[in-house]
Amino acid sequence: MITFRNATLNDLDVISEIENICFPPNEAASKESFSNRIKVYAEHFWLLESEGKLIGFVNGMVTNQNTISDELFNEASLHDKDGKWQSIFGIAVAPEYRNQGYAGKLMKYLIAQAEIEGRKGVILTCKSHLIKYYQRFGFVDLGVSQSVHGGEVWNDMALTF
């Protein structure tokens, strides 16, 4: 049985461990960044667990920006609880749980929460090889992003309700 819950500071070590396995160093969020995110918007930092073991997580602030800028990744205080757009900064699944549909469950959960909260939609950035994956959830490719997070090329994606 799987369950969803919000992250707490007690989860910080395991969240950071999974993040550093799933993302290269230039893209991975720091433990300090995760700590700030949890302190400011824990209600938008969801964990997926099975029998108390962390499978994966998804997180992102709420904003009025319709695309993600680099400053949003680093400055948790820019979270606007009344914003129109739920962002996704990262989705990560522990290696032993990959290819079992858990990333999709996290995506669907976040999307449902954003819709319940009355958001206009969900935004994210992704590398070009992941565009088709996110399109399966209804996201539209908006083209190359102005974000240069981690020195990489990203595409802006948006799902409008």
Supply the range of the domain harboring residue 153.
Answer: 2-160
Quick: pLDDT tens for 8-29. 999 999 999 999 999 999 999 9
Of 159, 117, 102, 113, nearest in space to 136 by CA:
159
State the average pLDDT for the chain: 97
Of 9, 7, 146, nearest in space to 90 by CA:
7
List the CATH number of the domain containing 46. 3.40.630.30
Q: What is the model's pTM?
A: 0.95
Say how far apart CA 37 and CA 51 lie, in whole Å.
25
**Count of domains for the chain:** 1
* pLDDT at 15 (0 to 100): 98
R_g over Cα of the chain = 14
Tell me the mean pLDDT in the region 101-111.
Answer: 98
